[in-house]
Structure 1
């Protein structure tokens, strides 16, 4: 084993037996490069990355190539999910230099960490205009030995270019978006909407979770039928397509086509947490039975497939698994031929299932296999349940995809929020219990003791990792804790959210401009301090922090937190109307700011049915970003509940904005009317 055998990252451990003499990222690797006067080969990927596996098998397991690599470079392997800061900095450099990026990411560095040559996947032999990996290594090594001045000039220019960008998003002095700008962003999304197939743009097609959340809030705020139509169309297309696991629930990372038929089969925690919330909120908005069914099956998938023994949620399921030939293939676990359906179900049910799931003799995927779709619901629910059960049992006999079982704080925060709301809204206590267990794990393992209250990014098997949390970890965990407070009334979760958000203000925020950085002020120094407000696969740390700050301010009355949220949202004014698909969560938070957000205080005895009825009415409200506090009169220190007496001795609800309240009500119907009003 090489040095990676001492790490806890599943991705790094996949490379621990390579003949490549890998080093983990750190000062020791850079010092070794200085000592030997050789460049650093930085290889970045993640455990469920298909092409990372391909390059590892083709190149990093080749003893001859490894010998050359070890002699002339210090090879460093990074798990991008453990070190998103390292990934972000060098991805920015790769994209600036080449106009594209991806994983595996291959970057050659000076011993000081300055990049000078870039790429992604390199094949073992030259093909399709790409040089072989060996040719790249030989060329870089020759340049290092023979043209060192040129290498130094290139690396210095790249570092200067990155450093000169500063606050490239112009957040300083910007105001939050107005209603008109939010409408403009919704219209811009409409221009990119795929009317025939749902979603936005063409292939490949990614689940647009954050944009859909914005559109749901925009519909709630304005009554826009067009906004709701885009959400309904996209959610139906994804739910019925191959990107959705029609048997086991959950969603794959993206579709390689524009019709959602063939996915890239890896299943990520963050995608499923975000989509669970989207489908839940769509059900809340329009009562869709399909949305409710998908929300429940996605929640069930999280618990069945990603939950760890410690109560957290694993990061991902791999795309690849062993096929009938014994070799790993992408999608082998999920794809079916008509003959396999007949084998599992018998001739009659097999043929009927093939028609239902769009499984054809030609196949929709590879080697005559098809990815299951569900163009229409079957007319016999009992038969369908039997078919799903039998196919699941047959599939369980196949080799399973590997699981990346590290727990990432940010993604668990997203899952906590989604499961807490699902448990409360759909009255499924097992999902709330799972959210509480995951939150308990984050507190026990990821959160360092006060007064610092710092967050660690990862854990595995209940053991904390060594990497400091980044902005998204603080923001998404705080969001999860705030959701737990709203559905449980346990104000310890509100207190913990406040601890995390105070760190965001102290360590991640630029005092002058209000801009946010992805790493803390005392984090490891890289060639650039990463900073990006745009959505990628998850909400950016910047806009996630703005949302958590705004929600916390609404519950506590903290002007400091609200002002920080407003300043952070300045960047949405600049980007929202121009690039709404890439700042959807920022637009969703801005909708909440424009709406208030609504502050709902429900006071009454915990065991009173009237309290429960008011609480449920509040939970079902679609007002953008509404916050809820429930408690007995005078029995809490939460500011939103302070000085809220019962009315006529009955459980009472108060609807406020910035602590300016309308007349209290005791009737759930009256409360629903107030939450629908735009006062």
Structure 2
């Protein structure tokens, strides 16, 4: 039987460089047990890859995509940098992720080019990094590019010295020279010349950039205090840049995270400003009706390239959808609009149907690209439609209906095809079609399901099947909160399955691991991994009433404090004592498309303090808020998620306790039904039955002392600062207490 070693050809330009371990390649190929289908244009007649590099030994889908480039790639590690030192060569650190469109383009254009590969192999050491596996490495070198005054993005290509200090970088480089710019091969030649001819200049550039990185990754210092932080100041910035026509912020591209809707809703709750509610409602409506939302399958694409949320970048990320599910749940509670609850329900259905691994946790992302009918990779072809395809999937009458309602035309709105979207609400469409709104909604729901099934027969986009602890923590929160708000025990069960998987398979020696692939947990957990999972476990405790989730969240919180807290200045570092020490240690201070670990960790500490009464947790939270006080005052939009924690602390958090009779958890349901109708973001919730679970919880939650049911009726307690209003067994009275009307 033919083996990989039988077909191995030396990578071009690698004379004098240690060769890859072919025997290990073959053992791994056989262990993986898949039909060998290399992703490369360099194929031998037998279907084997002409080239194989060390990335074949990795488990990251992104690194494996480059395993058959003619480039002599190394994974990040000491071996590559030691070889660079011995050979006195510059190092190319190329960073991306598996579902990155422009990463695919650069791979096909440059890293599959044998001429470029030969030059790169002969004069450089080339390292590939999956940014989702090594966010610490990505942050350091992305900051270097920003320090050069350049726009960041992926692929990220940075040139560094053997001491790991960067001296030049950028993002996507085309293979050949173009008007106004160098192609990748010309750039490599220039970098090589500079490294050889002017080593002192390269060294100075590296030292200067390293100093800049360290300064940029530290929080802004000042005399401000977090108690003086104004949410109104932050929201005013969003008001001034609000897009009154399309929602979100003016301009393009449009990211859902650019307008922090949860912050806007809290400020609306504080002051009752109707314009803030309008901002949130318009944005959520327009996003859900636009092409950025997958109208056939549910879930959101990563961002829109236009101002009207119509044309998305077609990647779908776990973190986006988990965060947006929570946003729409809060939007439903704040406005009472049931369509927002439906969007949240559809997002969670998408995640469960398309992104959940058999073990219970969730995969990371799906690609923007897929194969078109001619067999070529093309962005968006999986998600777009023609009128004929609608007719084939739905029949002529329904095909015309969907084309009318979702804007599918012969000319299309994206490269000759159409992205499904709605320019009008279902009510407006029903009036125009002279149908009842309920009938049209049911018909369109049936059609969307048929389109989803028809689409599933197309070549699927690549799915990155890494399981990341941080992003799964966000998913646990989304499903737990969804189960609570939508009254669905099944959704809570999904959250519990994902949490159970992580605690069983991604904990080693009492520490959380960062990722899980091919049956193995990998990498030390980062701050985000701990913070997001702790938040998910708190949400799961509130939704399920199972004390074990609260216990595990407290254990992980203790571990996070020990590993990541800055004992001197407050706040939390991204890495801990078990991580590799890079040229700079980040203290995350920016809430972008993913909240920073510091923002989420502060909120965790505040919530756990409210539950347990442990004042030490409040002190840690105060220390972190003080560390970022200057930034919260001067640039509040940079830490919009931390402002949620500021809001929590500036308001008095409510403590909601519902005690049901032993063995009758359903007795709490009428009280929960009222709670679902109220937007009460700054609160903790404890729902338990009398008996052992209540006694066990009371050891952690002093507030539970003396709380009990009333015969066969549940009793609700609404408290603040451990002082409770009159307990009630009347759900309507409880609702009036929650809304301040009774």
SS of the aligned residue for 2:157 comes to: strand
- TM-score, normalised via structure 2 length: 0.87
Give the count of matched residue pairs: 672
1:646 corresponds in structure 2 to 708
- Structure 1 residue runs of 5 or longer lacking an equivalent are none
Equivalent runs, 1:353-502 vs 2, <5 Å: 353-366=402-415, 368-375=416-423, 376-377=425-426, 378-379=429-430, 380-449=440-509, 453-465=510-522, 467-502=523-558
Q: Is the aligned partner of 1:553 residue 2:599?
A: no
* Alignment partner of 1:189 out of 228, 238, 253: 238
Cα distance, 1:165 vs structure 2: 5.0
Q: Which residue does the alignment assign to 1:308?
A: 357
Q: Normalization by structure 1: what TM-score?
A: 0.95
Distance 1:174 1:482, change over 3 A: farther
Can you list the C-alpha shifts for 1:117-145, whole angstroms capped at 9, x where unaligned? 11110001112522111011111111111
Query: Is this contact kept in 1: 2:144–2:212, CA < 8 A?
Result: no
SS in 2 for 1:623: coil
Aligned residue in 2 for 1:176:
226
State the partner residue of 2:734: 671
Is the contact between residue 660 and residue 709 of structure 2 (CA under 8 Å) also seen in structure 1? no
More deviation, 120-129/596-605: 596-605
- Asked if the contact 1:211–1:580 (Cα under 8 Å) also holds between the matched residues in 2, the reply is no
Correspondence for 1:612 among 669, 672, 677: 669
Post-superposition Cα deviations, 1:360-416, rounded to whole Å, max 9, x if no partner, equal 3332111x2121102222532333233223322321221110000001111100110
1:215 is displaced (CA, Å) by 1.7
Distance of 2:218 and 2:741 partners within structure 1 = 36
> What is the CA–CA distance in structure 1 between the aligned matches of 2:352 and 2:540, rounded to whole Å?
18
C-alpha distance in 2 between matches for 1:2 and 1:647: 66
Classify the secondary structure of the residue corresponding to 1:118: strand
Q: Aligned-pair RMSD on alpha carbons?
A: 2.1
Deviation by residue 1:592-640 (Cα, 9 ceiling, x = unmatched):
2222321212223250654332344345542223111122455222314
User: What is the rounded CA distance, in whole Å, between the counterparts of 1:670 and 1:332 in structure 2?
Assistant: 54
* 1:490-639 correspondence runs (5 A): 490-570=546-626, 573-576=629-632, 579-605=635-661, 606-607=663-664, 609-633=666-690, 635-636=695-696, 637-639=699-701
Task: Report what 2:17 is aligned to.
Answer: none
SS in 2 for 1:529: coil
Is the alpha carbon distance of 1:166 and 1:611 closer, same or farther for their aligned partners in structure 2, counting shifts above 3 Å? closer
CA distance in 2, matches of 1:360, 1:545: 48
Preserved CA contact (<8 Å) 1:629 1:641: no
Cα gap change, 1:168 to 1:432, in 2 (>3 Å): closer
Does the 8 A contact of 1:598 with 1:626 survive in 2?
Answer: yes
The secondary structure found in structure 2 opposite 1:569 is: helix
Q: Within 1, Cα distance between the matches of 2:370 and 2:68?
A: 20
Q: C-alpha separation between the residues in 2 aligned to 1:374 and 1:45?
A: 33
Task: Write out per-residue CA displacement over residues 207-256 of structure 1, whole angstroms, 9 at most, x where no aligned residue.
Answer: 12771111222223333322222111110000000000000000000000
Tell me the equivalent position of 1:143. 194
Structure label with greater radius of gyration: 2
Query: RCO (CA 8 Å, sep 6+): is it higher in 1 or 2?
Result: 1
Offset of 1:70 from its aligned partner? 0.9
Shift of the alpha carbon at 1:565?
1.7
User: Secondary structure in 2 aligned to 1:314?
Assistant: coil
Q: Distance in 2 between matches of 1:518 and 1:32?
A: 28
Shift of 1:469: 1.3
Distance 1:164 1:281 in 2: 37
**What residue in structure 1 maps to residue 35 of structure 2?**
none
Q: In 1, are the aligned partners of 2:150 and 2:170 still within 8 Å (CA)?
A: no
Do residues 91 (structure 1) and 142 (structure 2) align?
yes
Write the deviation string for residues 43-64 of structure 1: whole angstroms up to 9, x where unpaired: 0000000000000011111122
CA distance in 2, matches of 1:625, 1:494: 18
Distance in 1 of aligned mates of 2:320 and 2:638: 15
- The Cα shift of 1:519 comes to 1.2
Cα deviation for residue 284 of structure 1 reads 1.7
CA distance in 1, matches of 2:511, 2:261: 32
CA distance in 2, matches of 1:332, 1:28: 41
More deviation, 585-594/247-256: 585-594
Between 1:578-587 and 1:5-14, the stretch displaced more is: 578-587
Counterpart CA distance in 2 for 1:169 and 1:672 is 44
> Is 1:257 matched with 2:314?
no
CA distance in 2, matches of 1:652, 1:209: 42
Deviation at 1:515, TM superposition (A): 2.3
Contact 1:364 1:370 in 2 (8 A): yes
Deviation at 1:499, TM superposition (A): 1.5
SS of the residue corresponding to residue 98 of structure 1 reads coil
| 1:59-102 deviation per Cα after TM superposition (whole angstroms, max 9, x unaligned) | 11112211111111110000000100000011111111133111
Q: Distance in 2 between matches of 1:50 and 1:78?
A: 16
SS in structure 2 of the partner of residue 587 of structure 1: helix
- Is the 2:225–2:630 Cα contact (8 Å) retained in structure 1? no
- Asked whether the equivalents of residues 122 and 130 of structure 1 are also in contact (C-alpha less than 8 Å), the reply is no
Question: SS at the partner of 2:465?
Answer: strand
What are the ranges of 5 or more consecutive residues in structure 2 without an aligned counterpart? 1-51, 431-439
Query: Residues of 1 paired with 2:152 and 2:641: CA distance?
Result: 23
CA distance in 1, matches of 2:258, 2:106: 30
2:271 alignment partner in structure 1: 222
Question: C-alpha displacement at 1:343, in angstroms?
Answer: 3.5
